[in-house]
Amino acid sequence: MNTYLLPVFAIVIGIIIAFVTKNQKSIGTKLLLSFSGAFLLALTLFDLLPEVYHHLEAKQTGFFIMCGILLQIILEFLSQGAEHGHVQTHKEDKKFPWVLFISLCIHSFLEGFPIHHYNDMVYGILIHKIPIATLITTFLLQSSSSKLQIAAFLVVFMIMTPLGSFISNNMVLATEYINYINAIVIGIFLHIATTILFETSEGHTFNLSKLVVICFGVFIANLI
């Protein structure tokens, strides 16, 4: 059951944080984003990558991982980097952000596939989603979208990862191609996590704090 509920809880926690912080960006959110990037990257390398290489040929695995990286680049072109915390509000734009919505839903749907029963990847997704949900909620609240549109956006975004997990765990067609899909998701995770980790930040103090939380994220992932 945690397979489906934890990603939902992550979105709920992110929404709560967005309201509690009164829609203001804080260094805490940035540090949580850095921790989530390190944690997700470590779990991908420790658990998901060896599993995929075990089931697929090495060159074949590399090809699909590269496809995942390219897919994420395309998605980030559409979402402007929302998957790793880059969301900008344009209040003069009165249109609903359909491109952002579709891009995030595709990303969220695919990241549900590596989550299986008794799979530690669910914790990586959990930690990854909290700061992203916080930033997305902040963006939506500062936009000109109606409350109904914001609620619909968040609800659909919330269920996409559990939907991906349900399909991968229950549909025969999905299970036949699960390792190929997981290789693509690895590419997505690698691109997102490394973008977060290698982003330059202003201020020596923040960079030191970022380094500490990155090391902590890797350490915690190693213990799981």
For residues 65 and 140, which has the higher predicted lDDT (pLDDT)? 65
Task: Determine if the pTM surpasses 0.75.
Answer: yes
Please give the pLDDT value at position 128.
87
Please give the pLDDT value at position 2.
67
Confidence of residue 19 (pLDDT cuts 50, 70, 90): confident
How would DSSP label each residue in the chain?
A: -HHHHHHHHHHHHHHHHHHHTTT---HHHHHHHHHHHHHHHHHIIIIIHHHHHHHS-HHHHHHHHHHHHHHHHHHHHHHTSGGGT-----TT--S--HHHHHHHHHHHHHTTTT--TT-THHHHHHHHHHHHHHHHHHHHHHSS--HHHHHHHHHHHHHHHHHHHHHHHH-HHHHHTHHHHHHHHHHHHHHHHHHHHH---SSHHHHHHHHHHHHHHHHHHHH-
- In the block, tokens 């960006």 appear at 25
Structure tokens at 179: 């390792």
Torsion of CA 190, 208, 14, 222, to 10 degrees: 50
Q: What is the pLDDT of residues 78-121, one digit of tens each?
A: 776 665 555 655 555 567 778 888 888 999 999 999 887 657 78
Q: What is the pLDDT of residues 22-48, one digit of tens each?
A: 655 566 777 888 898 899 999 999 989
Q: What is the pLDDT of residues 133-160, one digit of tens each?
A: 888 888 888 877 788 888 999 999 999 9
For residues 23 and 52, which has the higher predicted lDDT (pLDDT)? 52
- In the block, tokens 């994420």 appear at 72
